[in-house]
A and B are shown apart, each in its own frame.
Chain A
């Protein structure tokens, strides 16, 4: 969070209730452009629920989720837009979105928020290449004249498809699957599936990439490769990253900014070094500190 950091996503007072359960309560945080923001917390803390609210899969009970493409000054229009009841405000210098008002597919298509899933959701019976082409559906659909021209073989669809395949090839090479491009996604090893899901999300040209526990189930080497991939996404593209992660070491290594959730409530927010030493975070993660356990045990005479 340098002085020049620009806000990309602002989550304000986000609350999500499931019946009596408050999965997320009054959560407020900001994700900045060209940064990796990590969302961490113990199991069941509500991290995936936050992702589902941002990406439109859940409609939040309360709260506002703003996202800006382009000029920072659009944030000044946030209250006006909220009052109007529109989904977005487009100006010459950019667009302001209210994500909680948008259906899931428009969050991806218009607001350009891409995501991966905690339980991998690839198109397992389609090849690696096909997976990456499905991700480029909307631009290709336009190029095929909404299918009408494409069926007749008119309108330069072939050229657009070649460009799409080139982009897919670029990502296939980047995630190290060049020799498996024509294999079905379901036949890949677990780690490769995780990388492919990230590549697929990146093929939608997102401004914000939401990764739900990408390192879960990876071995240390794969995990290190993944870190490199995420860092390269931040540094080499205009995509910012919002990352849910369980593994503290991964988080501390690559994130610029950490938000900690516990029981749906934010308990810390700041740079990794600060969060690492936060007493509440330590307590939430490790239960309570060892000395305290010892002290309590001594007290009850164990």
Chain B
């Protein structure tokens, strides 16, 4: 082996003390200037309807202090650490690679095991009453978004078509279910596939004109279609009941046994005291089954020619056509299958809420789902699941940040800062992991040895 050029024994990087202090001072001043009008001053209306100016010095100085502390941490800890990392000769650590390999091998079974026993775990830890929140607000809510993320992942992550109006299919699924249940009295399990088929149909219908467009144009037009669907739901009052929405949507039953307090109800039938958590747990397992089905189907699709054609389309559309692939049909199938999963999720959503209105299908939903897919790492199903847990679970958890009141006084409402923290998290992930949480691609088929493909080689698709 060739001798390495000799390097100094200790770290060569030296912290410049003055520089660090100066940086911190400048950052503090900028923060003070910015936050003074934003945080330091606040207008409130008093009883006589007059605007009065209120000052919030403690909060302002806490924020500025945080900025200064951040700057100091950057100068004294992060920068030296990065310099040290740079200096260190880059030998791929076999131990780390081994660990990552083992981790990935056991992660999926462990994760599935965990979500399978999650309701029991929460019953055990939080009791009957506390579990309603943990199963419904966290479990079910997150799983709905995992399902939506997996559906959109087919369109955006695999086929590389940026669809900003995915909520349209969610809405179609929800309204199909609500209206068919209302007028024909069909049950949840009959209507679930029907709602999926209707959403697929709409996917094809919308996809046909839209998929001629590419890149940014496709994104804008899908966004518009999402809004159009919502406006139709608002304005087609005779059918959709407009803003008022549809209520009294039948809930899923346990093989015909409803979850209510009546004598025919679930609790009475099984001779246990009635509690709302029974329904929550039942719904949890329905959506879990739907999520697992979606994941399984996607895994299979990726190994079929259609899945490979989607990914090839994302990589290079012209090359696809030179190989005899009908790119219009291929895009359309991605759109339609994505729409189908959105429709399933929508009808589940309607059945869970018992009430739907156009409010639930705004652009904000589409943006959240796209963010989940992008954050997860385009095309990675595990990434999508982790991102949904982080994003939806994270925003829900922030409701629980009551301890911050101790820091900022009693009227401090942590939920108001949800979006701020959320945005910060997104920015940080995009800086550190620009390819999303799972930045590598797994090949769909191997000849000799499975190797993950670096995200830098994988294209994102241009529509």
Binary interface profile of B, 283-310, with partner A (CB < 8 Å = 1, else 0)? 0000000000000010011001110110
Contacts of B428 in A (CB 8 A): none
A282 to B148, CA, bound (A): 64
A127 touching B446 in the complex, CB below 8 Å, given contacts A105-B321, A105-B324, A135-B323: yes
User: Which partner residue on chain A sits nearest B455 by CB separation?
Assistant: A125
Binary interface profile of A, 118-140, with partner B (CB < 8 Å = 1, else 0)? 00011111110110011111101
A130 to B312, CA, bound (A): 9
A127 touching B311 in the complex, CB below 8 Å, given contacts A137-B305, A184-B457, A187-B457: no
**Does residue B458 face the partner (Cβ distance < 8 Å to A)?**
yes
Which of B319, B441, B449, B450 gathers the greatest number of chain A CB atoms within 10 Å? B319
- The residue that B319 contacts in the complex, of A106, A121, A161, A172, with Cβ under 8 A, is A121
**Does residue A150 face the partner (Cβ distance < 8 Å to B)?**
yes
A129 touching B445 in the complex, CB below 8 Å, given contacts A147-B301, A151-B301, A187-B457: yes
- The residue that B447 contacts in the complex, of A129, A134, A187, with Cβ under 8 A, is A129
A167 to B451, CA, bound (A): 21
A157 touching B304 in the complex, CB below 8 Å, given contacts A125-B441, A130-B444: yes
**Does residue B459 face the partner (Cβ distance < 8 Å to A)?**
yes
Contacts of B458 in A (CB 8 A): 124-125, 184
Nearest chain A CB to B461 CB, angstrom units: 10
The stretch that binds B, out of A68-76, A109-117, A287-295, is A109-117
A278 to B148, CA, bound (A): 66
A127 touching B321 in the complex, CB below 8 Å, given contacts A134-B312, A137-B305, A151-B297: no
Which of B443, B444, B448, B459 gathers the greatest number of chain A CB atoms within 10 Å? B443
The stretch that binds A, out of B41-49, B93-101, B215-223, B325-333, is B325-333
A124 touching B315 in the complex, CB below 8 Å, given contacts A137-B323, A182-B443: yes
A124 to B311, CA, bound (A): 11
Nearest chain B CB to A167 CB, angstrom units: 12
Nearest chain A CB to B456 CB, angstrom units: 8
**Does residue A39 face the partner (Cβ distance < 8 Å to B)?**
no
**Does residue B320 face the partner (Cβ distance < 8 Å to A)?**
yes
Nearest chain B CB to A154 CB, angstrom units: 12
Contacts of B441 in A (CB 8 A): 125
Interface contact B311-A123, CB-CB below 8 Å: yes
**Does residue A55 face the partner (Cβ distance < 8 Å to B)?**
yes
A157 to B304, CA, bound (A): 9
User: Which partner residue on chain A sits nearest B443 by CB separation?
Assistant: A127
User: Which partner residue on chain B sits nearest A107 by CB separation?
Assistant: B324
Interface contact A117-B453, CB-CB below 8 Å: no
A151-184 residues at the B interface, CB under 8 angstroms: 151, 153, 157, 161, 165, 169, 172, 181-184
User: Which partner residue on chain B sits nearest A134 by CB separation?
Assistant: B312
A109 to B323, CA, bound (A): 7
A108 to B320, CA, bound (A): 10
**Does residue A29 face the partner (Cβ distance < 8 Å to B)?**
no
Interface contact A129-B446, CB-CB below 8 Å: yes
Contacts of A57 in B (CB 8 A): 318, 321-322
Nearest chain A CB to B222 CB, angstrom units: 23
**Does residue A224 face the partner (Cβ distance < 8 Å to B)?**
no
Interface contact A140-B305, CB-CB below 8 Å: yes
A114 to B311, CA, bound (A): 20
**Does residue B454 face the partner (Cβ distance < 8 Å to A)?**
yes
Interface contact A55-B447, CB-CB below 8 Å: no
**Does residue A204 face the partner (Cβ distance < 8 Å to B)?**
yes
B432-452 residues at the A interface, CB under 8 angstroms: 441, 443-451
Interface contact A134-B445, CB-CB below 8 Å: no
**Does residue B316 face the partner (Cβ distance < 8 Å to A)?**
yes
Contacts of A130 in B (CB 8 A): 308, 311, 443-445
Interface contact A182-B448, CB-CB below 8 Å: yes
Nearest chain B CB to A255 CB, angstrom units: 22
**Does residue A186 face the partner (Cβ distance < 8 Å to B)?**
yes
User: Which partner residue on chain A sits nearest B315 by CB separation?
Assistant: A123
Nearest chain B CB to A140 CB, angstrom units: 4
Contacts of B444 in A (CB 8 A): 130
Interface contact B312-A126, CB-CB below 8 Å: yes
A181 touching B312 in the complex, CB below 8 Å, given contacts A104-B322, A105-B324, A144-B305: no
Interface contact A182-B446, CB-CB below 8 Å: yes
Interface contact A137-B325, CB-CB below 8 Å: yes
Contacts of A134 in B (CB 8 A): 305, 308-309, 312, 320, 323, 325
User: Which partner residue on chain B sits nearest A55 by CB separation?
Assistant: B322
Contacts of B305 in A (CB 8 A): 133-134, 136-137, 140-141, 144, 147, 150
Contacts of B326 in A (CB 8 A): 105, 109
A109 to B304, CA, bound (A): 19
- The residue that A126 contacts in the complex, of B304, B315, B333, with Cβ under 8 A, is B315
- The residue that B453 contacts in the complex, of A106, A122, A127, with Cβ under 8 A, is A127
Interface contact A108-B321, CB-CB below 8 Å: yes
Interface contact A150-B304, CB-CB below 8 Å: yes
Contacts of A126 in B (CB 8 A): 308, 311-312, 315, 443, 453
A114 to B323, CA, bound (A): 7
Contacts of B315 in A (CB 8 A): 122-126
Contacts of A117 in B (CB 8 A): 318-319, 322
A241 to B318, CA, bound (A): 21
A294 to B306, CA, bound (A): 63
Interface contact A123-B304, CB-CB below 8 Å: no
User: Which partner residue on chain B sits nearest A112 by CB separation?
Assistant: B324
Contacts of A114 in B (CB 8 A): 322-323
Interface contact A137-B457, CB-CB below 8 Å: no
Contacts of B325 in A (CB 8 A): 105, 134, 137-138
A181 touching B448 in the complex, CB below 8 Å, given contacts A117-B319, A121-B316, A123-B316: yes
The 4 A-B residue pairs whose C-beta atoms are closest, nearest first, are A125-B458, A109-B324, A108-B324, A123-B315
Apart from A130-B311, A130-B444, A134-B320, 6 more pairs, CB < 8 Å: A105-B321, A121-B322, A126-B311, A130-B445, A138-B324, A182-B448
Can you list 7 A-B pairs with a CB-CB distance of less than 8 A? A106-B324, A122-B315, A125-B459, A134-B308, A134-B312, A153-B300, A201-B323
Q: List residues of chain A with CB under 8 Å of any chain B CB.
A: 55, 57, 104-106, 108-109, 114-115, 117, 121-127, 129-130, 133-138, 140-141, 144, 147, 150-151, 153, 157, 161, 165, 169, 172, 181-184, 186-187, 200-201, 204
